[in-house]
A and B are shown apart, each in its own frame.
Chain A
Amino acid sequence: MAESSKASSNTMSQNDNAKTVSRTSKPAKPETASSVIFGALSPYWKWALLAVVMMAVEVVGDLSLPTLMSTIVDKGVSVGNLSTVLQTGLFMLLISVVGMAGGIACTYYASKASLSAASDLRSRLFRKVQTYSFDSLDEFSTGSLVTRLTNDVVQVQNLTLSMMRIMVGAPILLIGGIIMAIAINPGLSLILVFVLPILVVTLTFVIMKGFPLFRKVQAALDRVNGIMRENLAGVRLIKAFVRSDYEEKRFGKANNDLAEITVTGTRMVGLVLPIMFLIMNMAVVVAVWFSGQQVNLGTMEVGKVIAFTTYLSLILFSLLMVSFVLMNASRAVASARRIAEVLNKEGESELEAVHLNRPRITDNTANNTANNTANTSTNATALETTQVQTILRPGDLDTPIQISSSAMPTPVLEYDHVTFHYPRIADSQPVLYDVSFKVNKGDLVGILGSTGSGKSTLINLIPRFYDVDSGAIYLEGKDIRTMGLAELRSKIGLVPQDSVLFTGTIAENLRWGNPNATDEEIEKAAWVACALDFVKSFPKGFDTIIGQRGVGLSGGQRQRLCIARAILRKPTILILDDSTSAVDMATEATIQTRLREEKGMTMLVIAQRVSSVLDADQILVLDHGRIAGEGTHEQLMKSNEIYQDIYRSQVTEGVTNA
C-alpha cells in the first residue's frame, strides 16, 4: 500500500482540538527530539517568557544582595552606625521581597508552562495512538505505549522545567564572569581559551555517551512494564499453574536489567560534575600560579588575584548550572525521541480516503459467473425477503457500481478478489487468498472453517483494521477505502471474539454502541441479546459496575453484552465473530431469531457449529484462506466435502449419543 505519503492533505479532519491537530496533521516534517520538546512548549511561550523574566528579577535581586550585605558590615556594623544598618537593611529587605516575588512568580509560570506543555504532549500522543492502525499498534507493545505516555513525558517535562529556571541565571553569570575576568587580566583570561573547549568537549562526550544509555533505560522500563502487564492480564493462569516463582525470576531479570542500566547511566552523567570541578579548579590553580609570577614581576596587584579567581569561580558555577540541564537533557532527549517515534508513526486516519479514485476492478464478469453458479439457488429463498427491501431503496441503484449486469440486487457487501497477509509477520503466506463473495441486504451469512483458516481475519478487513493487499471490499457499493473511517465503522456492529468490555457500568458499556441510546433502547438491545434477564437479576441492574475486560461476568454474559452493544449501533452489518461460543444452544437460537427480526440488518456470523448457521442464507466455507465452498446448508451438504466433513464431526457425535 502506498497510502502513507499521499495522505497528508485532508487528514484528521474530525479531530476537534484545533491547536493540537494543526501540528499533528503536518506529517511533512517528522518530529525530532527537539521539535517535540520545543514544539510542546511553544504555545505557552508567554508563560515561559514570564517565567524567564521573573527569574531575571530574582537573579538581579540576588546579585545585589551581597553588596548590600557587605555595606551593612563595612559601613554599619564595623563603624558602629546602627542607622546605616537599619536603612540598608530595610532596602535589603525590600529587594529580597521583590526577589522572593520574582522567584515565586517564576516558579508559577514555569510550572504552568511546563506542565501544560507536558499535558498537551500526552494528549497529542493519546490522540495519535487513537488514530493508529493495527499495524502500527502491533509495533509498540501496550506496555511501551504506556511508558511513553507517562514516564517519557515526565522526563521531557522535567527538562523544560529546569531549563526555564536556569535560562537566565547561567548566561548572565557566564557572560558577566567572562567579561569581568578579561577586564581584570586579559592575559590570564587566556586560560579560559584552553579550558572552555576542553569543558565543552568533555560535556558533549558524556552527554553523547549518556544518551544511548538512557534510551536503554527507557526500553528496560518498557520491559518491566510489559511483564507487569502480562502478569496482571494472565493472573489466573499464573496462579493456576503456580508459576509465581517463574514469573518472579522473569521479572527479576527485567528488574535487574533496569537497575543495572540505570546505574550505568546515572554514573555516566554523574561524571560531568566532578570533571567540571576538576577542570575549572585546575584553571584556578593555574591562574594562581601565573598571577603569583605576575605579582612577583609587578604586573599584577594582589587584590586583583582574589577578584580574578572569584570570577573564574563564577564562570564555573554558571557552567555547572548548564551541566545540570544537560544531565537531565540526555535522559529527556532519549525520551523525546521515543515520543517522536510514536508521533511519527503513520496514523490510520491518514489512510483515509486514499483510494478515492481507484477504479473499480470491472472484470467482475468472471467473478460473477463463478459466484453465480454457487449463488443462484442460495438466494432463492432469501431473494423474496431481501430483494424487495433492497429494491425499495432507490438510492442504492444510483451508485455507480450498479452497472453489474446481473439482475441481482446491489450486494450490501462484496469481496472482490481479496488477498491479504499480515504486514507485521515477515515472509508469511497470505492469510486470505483471492476471496470473492457477495452478501445481500438482510441476509444472514455464516462463515465456517477450521481453526486458523482466516475467518476472523476475513471480517476484520471490513472495518479496515487492516487494508487488503489486493482486490477490494465494497460496502453498499462503495470501496471501503473511499469511505471515511468513521462513516464506515458507523455502519458496522462488531462483536469481537474476545468479548472486550471496559471498566464502568453495564449501561456505560452498552452506550458505546450508541451514546445517545435511551434506557428503553438499551433494554431492548439487551433483550435481543438475551442479556436482559441476567442484567436485571443484578441488584444494581444496568448500573452494575464491571471490571476491566468485564471481570465479574461469566464468558457467556460478556458475549451477550457485546452483542447488545453492537445492536445499539443499528448497524448495516452486524458481525458476530464466534460470539456465542459460551452461550448455550437454546439461547443462541433465541438470540439469532431476535436478531433476524431486526429489519434490514445484514449479519455475518462466524461459527463453529453448523447448527448456528443452519438457517443462513449463505454459508462460506473457508479453508486455508480460500473460499472452499459457498451456498446454503443444503447446497453445501450436496457439493462440499469440507462442509460435509464439518457437519459429520458434529452430527456423528449426536447420533452416537442420541
Chain B
Amino acid sequence: MPENNKTKIESAPEQTQSSLGSENTKPVAAAPMGRGGGFGGGRGGGGGRAFMGPGEKAKNSAQTLKRLWRYLDRHKIKLIIVFLSVLMSSVMMLSGPFFIGKAVDIMAAGKGKVDLAKLWNLVLTLVGVYLAGTFFSWLQIFVMARIAQDTVRDIRKELFAKLQTLSLRYFDARPHGEIMSRLTNDVETINMTLNTSVTQLFSSTVTLLGSLVMMLTLSPILTLLALIIIPLGLLVTTRISKRTRQAFTAQQTELGRLNGYIEEGVSGQHVVKAFGREKAEIAEFDDINVRLKVAGTSAQIYSGTIPPLMNFINNFSYLVVAAAGGALAIAGQFTVGVVAAFLSYSKQFARPINEIANQYNLIQAAIAGAERVFEVLDEQPEIVDAPDSIELKEIKGDVEFRHVYFSYKEGEPVLKDINLHALPGQTIALVGPTGAGKTTIVNLLTRFYDIDSGEILIDGHNIQTIKKDNLRRSLGIVLQDTYLFNGTVRENIRYGRLEATDEEVEAAARACEADDFIRHLPNGYDTVLGEDGGSLSQGQRQILAIARVVLANPSILILDEATSSVDTRTEVNIQKAMLALMEGRTSFVIAHRLSTIRGADNILVIDHGQIVEQGTHAELLKKNGAYAALSNAQLRREAEMRESVNLSV
C-alpha cells in the first residue's frame, strides 16, 4: 500500500482527477490484496525437499511464467476484453480532468460571463465520461475474476488429474497434507496474483507507454536521463527479489509441511490422545510454525522494501532530470516550459514503474507457488500404458509369475524369484509371517508398482502390455486397509460398480451379511459415514469392502486379510458368499487362519520374500516343512481349545 497511496498523494494535488481516475484499477490491485496475497504464496525449488522426489532443479522463472501464461492464453478473448477495458477506463478517467480543465476555462471568463449552457454541456460530457469509465473499470474486474478463477480451476483440475496418474511410490513418500497444500495454498497464491497483477500490469504498461511517448516528443535527451530509473530499479528489484523469492519459497515449503503435520496429527488424533502426546505435538507444531513465521516475515519484509526504495529512486531521478533540465534550460537548450512539462510527465512515468516493480515482487510469490504446482505436474507417472498396450475382452484368469524380483527401495529386495502359476478358477493361498511379502505379491498383480525383473502374465500376456485400467477392472481386491469414503453406505458399496441399481447394492450387502447391520443404522443404506468410515466398526468396514467387490464381479479375486476384523460367526456366514464369489474365478487369498485356506488349490508359503514351499494342504503337511509347522501350531492351539472344552463340559 505505501507506494500507492504515496504516489497518489503526491500526484493528487497537482493532477487532480487524472491520477485518481487512471488509478482506479491500481489500488485494488497492488495494494493490500496483492501484498497480502503474497502470503498465500510462493515457493520455489527450496525446502520441502525432504518430501520431494528426485530431479528437482532450480527452474528459471521465465519458464515458469511462460507456462503460467499458457493457462491464461486459453482466455485470449476475455483477456483482450480486459485489456480494452483497462485502456478505455484509463482514457475515460484521464479525460475527466481534461474536461474539468475546460470547465475551469469557461469559468475563467469571470463573474456574469460564464457560459452556463456550455458548462452544462461539459457537465453532461463529464457524466458520460465517468459513467463509461466506471463501466469499463467494473468490466475489467468482472471479466478478470472469471479469467483468474477459470485459470486456477484448470490448474487444480490438472493437478488433481495428474495425481490420479502417479504411482503409489509418489504418495508413499509424502505426507498427505503436504500434497494437499499444493492444491490449495500454492494454487491460492497464483489466484491472488492473477486477480491483481494482470490488470495492474496492463494499466501500468498503458500509462508507461503513454508518458514515454510524451517524454520522447518533448526531449529525447532528458528522456534518456529519466530512464536511469530503469537500470537502478532493475538493480534494486532483482537484488531484493532474489531474496524475496527464496523467502517465499521457504514460506510455501513450511506452509506445506505445516499442512502435512496438521493433517497427519488430526487424523491420528486418537493415538495422540491415548499417548498423551499433545504437548509433544504442539512443540513440534510450534517448531514448524516458527519457521513459517520467520520465512513469511522475511518474505513480507523483503517484498515490502521495494516500494519505498523505488519511490526513492523515482525522487532521485526526478532531481537529476530537474537539475540537468534546469542547467540545460539555463544553457538555452530548452525552454523552461518544456522542462516543467517534462518533469510532470516524468513523475507520471515513475508511478507505473513503481507499480510494475511491486507487481514483479508479487509475481515472484506466484512463481514460487506455481513452481510447486508444476513440480507435481512434471512428475513422471511411473506406471504408464505402453503405446501398443492391449485391451483384453475377456480375462480367463490364468495368472503366472515368472522369476519376479521386486523392491520398494533400491537395494532392499522385498521379493526374490517368485514363480507361481494359477490356472483359471483356481484358488491360490498365500501364507507366511507378516512382512514376508504376501501383500506385495498381490499388489504387483494390480500394477500398483512395477517389478524390477521377471514377468507377470495374465492369460499369457505380460501385464505391462495390458491397459492398466483394463487390468485393474478385471481384478477384485479387498484390501488389508479397508477404506471408506465420506458418503452414504450405499455410495460406498456402489463404488464397486457405479452403474449398479439399489437392488443390486442391497443384494450384495445381503450376500455379505451386511444388510442386517446396515438397516440398524440411523438412516439405513443412506446413513452418511464420517471420514474414513467414521462410525462403523472395523469389522463392519471390512464387510462393506467385501460387498463392494461382490458387486464389482471381477474375473480375478484378491482377498488380503479380508475378514481379519470380522468376528468368526459372521465370517462363517460371509464365507458362503465368498465361496460363491470364488467359484470359477481365479482367487488369491491371504489369511492367517489356515482353516480358511485349506481348500486352496495351491498354497504358497512365503518367507523373506521367497516362496519356500508350495502345494496343497495335504502335500504340504506331508512335506513336514514350514507349513506343517504353522499348521501344527494352530492345530495345537485349537486342540487346546477343544480340550479345555472337554474338560469343562
The residue from B180, B279, B293 contacting A115, defined by CB atoms under 8 A apart: B293
CB distance from B94 to the nearest CB of A (A): 13
Complex: A123 Cα to B641 Cα, angstroms: 54
Which of B207-215, B457-465, B567-575 binds A?
B567-575
Docked-complex contact B300 and A107, CB < 8 angstroms: yes
Contact string against B for A residues 99-122, beta-carbon threshold 8 Å, 1 for contact and 0 otherwise: 111111011101110111011001
User: What's the Cα separation between A228 and B400 when bound, in Å?
Assistant: 36
Interface check A321, CB cutoff 8 A:
yes
A143 to chain B, nearest CB (A): 8
Q: Does A296 contact B (CB under 8 A)?
A: yes
* A-B pairs with beta carbons under 8 Å apart, 15 shown: A99-B6, A126-B289, A169-B2, A263-B146, A281-B134, A288-B122, A292-B103, A292-B119, A321-B5, A348-B273, A548-B175, A578-B565, A583-B434, A634-B648, A653-B596
Interface residues in B603-634 (C-beta closer than 8 Å to A): 617, 630, 633-634
Q: Judging by beta carbons under 8 Å apart, are A240 and B472 in contact?
A: yes
Question: In the complex, which residues of chain B have a beta carbon less than 8 angstroms from the beta carbon of A243?
Answer: 495, 498
Contacts of A228 in B (CB 8 A): 160, 179-180, 183-184
Contact stretch, chosen from B60-68, B415-423, B536-544: B536-544
B145 contacts the other chain (CB 8 A) = yes
A412 to B563, CA, bound (A): 33
Residues of A within 8 Å of B339, CB to CB, are 73, 77
CB closest chain-A residue, reference B286: A123
Q: Which interface class (under 10, 10 to 19, 20 to 34, 35 or more) fits B?
A: 35 or more
The listed residue (A72, A456, A559, A633) touching B648 by CB distance below 8 A is A633
Name B36's contact: one of A158, A288, A569, A585 (CB within 8 Å).
A158
Question: Are B150 and A259 neighbours in the complex by a CB distance under 8 Å?
Answer: yes
CB pair B103–A119 under 8 Å, yes or no, is no
| Residue pair B32, A238 in contact (C-beta under 8 Å) | no
Set A99, A145, A242: member contacting B262, Cβ < 8 A: A145
Q: Is the CB of A248 within 8 A of B160?
A: yes
Inter-chain CA distance A185–B446, complex, in Å, is 83
Is B168 touching A73 in the complex (CB atoms < 8 A)? no
Provide the bound-state CA to CA distance between A373 and B641, in Å: 24
Please indicate the chain B residues that have their CB under 8 angstroms from the CB of A427 in the complex. Answer: 522
A557–B263 CA distance with the chains assembled, in angstroms: 23
Q: Are A146 and B262 in contact (CB under 8 A)?
A: yes
A114 to B1, CA, bound (A): 15
Partner-contacting stretch, out of A63-71, A189-197, A385-393: A63-71
Task: Using known A-B contacts A78-B340, A285-B126, determine if residue A586 contacts B289 with beta carbons closer than 8 Å.
Answer: no
Those of A283-300 within 8 Å (CB) of chain B: 284-285, 288-289, 291-293, 295-298
Is A448 close to B, CB under 8 A?
yes
A316-B175 in contact (CB<8A):
no
Most interface-central of B113, B259, B323, B641 (chain A CB within 10 A): B641
> Could you mark each residue 322-338 of chain B with 1 if its beta carbon is under 8 Å from any beta carbon of chain A, else 0?
11011101100000100
Q: Mark B565-593, 1 if CB is under 8 A from A, else 0.
A: 11111111000000000000000000011
Q: A107-B308, A161-B32 are in contact. Are A486 and B276 (CB under 8 A)?
A: yes
| Chain B residue nearest to A451 in the complex (CB) | B539
A365 to B490 CA separation, bound complex (whole angstroms): 47
Determine the chain B residues whose CB is within 8 A of the CB of A85 once the complex forms: 322-323, 326
Name the CB-closest residue of A to B472. Answer: A242
In the assembled complex, the Cα of A282 lies from the Cα of B133 at a distance in Å of 12
B220 at the interface (CB under 8 A from A): no
Tell me the B193-229 residues at the A interface (CB within 8 Å). Answer: 195
Q: Give, as a whole number of angstroms, the nearest-CB distance from B600 to chain A.
A: 11
Contacts of A102 in B (CB 8 A): 308
Q: Which residues in window 567-614 of A have CB below 8 A to B?
A: 569, 578, 581-587, 589, 608-611, 614
Contact (Cβ within 8 A) A73 B13: no
B312 within 8 A of A: yes
A465 adjacent to B112 (CB under 8 Å)? no
7 interchain residue pairs of minimum CB distance: A556-B434, A162-B32, A158-B36, A103-B308, A107-B304, A451-B539, A634-B648
Q: Which residues, 159 to 177 on B, are CB-close (under 8 Å) to A?
A: 160-161, 163-165, 168, 171-177
Contacts of A653 in B (CB 8 A): 572, 595-596
Q: Bound complex: CA of A114 vs CA of B486, how far in Å?
A: 36
Could you tell me if A503 and B289 are in contact, using CB atoms closer than 8 angstroms?
A: no
B-chain residues with CB within 8 Å of residue A251 when the two chains form the complex: 157, 160
CB within 8 Å for A126 and B262 given contacts A85-B326, A224-B156, A452-B537: yes
Q: Which residues of B contact A583 (CB under 8 A)?
A: 434, 592
Question: What's the Cα separation between A657 and B596 when bound, in Å?
Answer: 9
Question: In angstroms, how far is the closest chain B Cβ from the Cβ of A546?
Answer: 10
6 additional contacts, CB 8 Å, given A85-B326, A285-B123? Answer: A229-B180, A277-B93, A285-B126, A310-B13, A500-B268, A547-B173
Given contacts A166-B32, A259-B153, contact A324 B1 (CB under 8 A): yes
For B28, the chain A residues whose CB sits under 8 A away are: 270, 273, 324, 327
Q: Is the pair B153, A58 in contact by a Cβ cutoff of 8 Å?
A: no
Does B555 make an interface contact (CB < 8 A)?
Answer: no
Q: Is A357 an interface residue (CB 8 A)?
A: no
When the two chains form their complex, are residues B12 and A650 in contact, meaning their CB atoms are under 8 A apart? no
B106 contact set on A, CB distance < 8 A: 292
Partner of A166, one of B1, B114, B293, B312: B1
Contact of A263 with B322 in the complex, beta carbons under 8 Å? no
A463 interface hit (Cβ, 8 Å): yes
Q: A489's contact among B176, B273, B496, B534, by CB below 8 Å, is which? A: B273
Q: Among residues 216 to 252 in chain B, which have CB atoms less than 8 Å away from a CB atom of chain A?
A: none
B441 to chain A, nearest CB (A): 12
Inter-chain contact B648/A162, CB cutoff 8 Å: no
B412 at the interface (CB under 8 A from A): yes
A289→B17 contact, CB < 8 A: no
Q: Are B27 and A321 in contact (CB under 8 A)?
A: yes
- With most chain A CB atoms within 10 A of its CB, the pick from B137, B176, B281, B536 is B176
Chain A nearest CB, measured from B429 CB (Å)? 13
B116 close to A296 (CB less than 8 A): yes
Bound complex: CA A165 to CA B641 (Å): 78
CA distance A142 to B272 in the complex (A): 15
Residues of chain B within 8 A (CB-CB) of A494 are: 270-271, 274-275
Q: In the assembled complex, how far is the CB of residue B369 from the closest CB belonging to chain A, in whole angstroms?
A: 12
Q: Flag if B9 contacts A173 (CB, 8 Å).
A: yes
A251-B160, A267-B145, A638-B648 are contacts. A646–B522 as well, Cβ < 8 Å? Answer: no
Q: Which residues of B contact A235 (CB under 8 A)?
A: 168, 171
Q: Which of A220-244 contact B (CB under 8 A)?
A: 221, 224-226, 228-244
Given A58-B308, A228-B180, A239-B448: A298 and B112 within 8 A (CB)? yes
Given contacts A233-B532, A638-B649, contact A585 B301 (CB under 8 A): no
Known interface pairs A65-B315, A554-B439, A555-B434; A292-B10 also in contact (CB < 8 Å): no
Q: Does B598 contact A (CB under 8 A)?
A: yes
Which residues on B sit within 8 Å (CB–CB) of A271? 138
Q: Report if A381 contacts B (CB, 8 A).
A: no
Q: Once bound together, how far apart are the Cα atoms of A494 and B2, in whole Å?
A: 56
Given A77-B326, A554-B434, A99–B308 Cβ distance below 8 Å?
yes
> Do residues B275 and A267 form an inter-chain contact, with CB atoms below 8 A?
no
Q: Given A107-B2, A158-B37, are A259 and B149 also a contact pair (CB < 8 Å)?
A: yes
* Residues in B whose Cβ lies below 8 Å from that of A652: 572
Q: B319 an interface residue at 8 Å Cβ cutoff?
A: yes
B111 touches A298 (CB 8 A): yes
CB-CB under 8 A from B127, the residues of chain A are 282, 285
A73 in contact with B275 (CB, 8 Å): no
**Complex interface bits, A493-508 against B, C-beta within 8 A gives 1, otherwise 0:** 0101110101100000
Could you tell me if A89 and B32 are in contact, using CB atoms closer than 8 angstroms?
Answer: no
Of A23-31, A132-140, A200-208, A395-403, the one touching chain B: A132-140
Q: Which residues of B contact A77 (CB under 8 A)?
A: 322, 325-326, 329, 336, 339-340, 343
Of B96, B107, B564, B617, the residue contacting A581 (CB under 8 A) is B564
State which residues 1-43 of B face A: CB under 8 Å.
1-3, 5-6, 8-14, 16-17, 19-21, 23-24, 27-28, 31-33, 35-37, 39-40
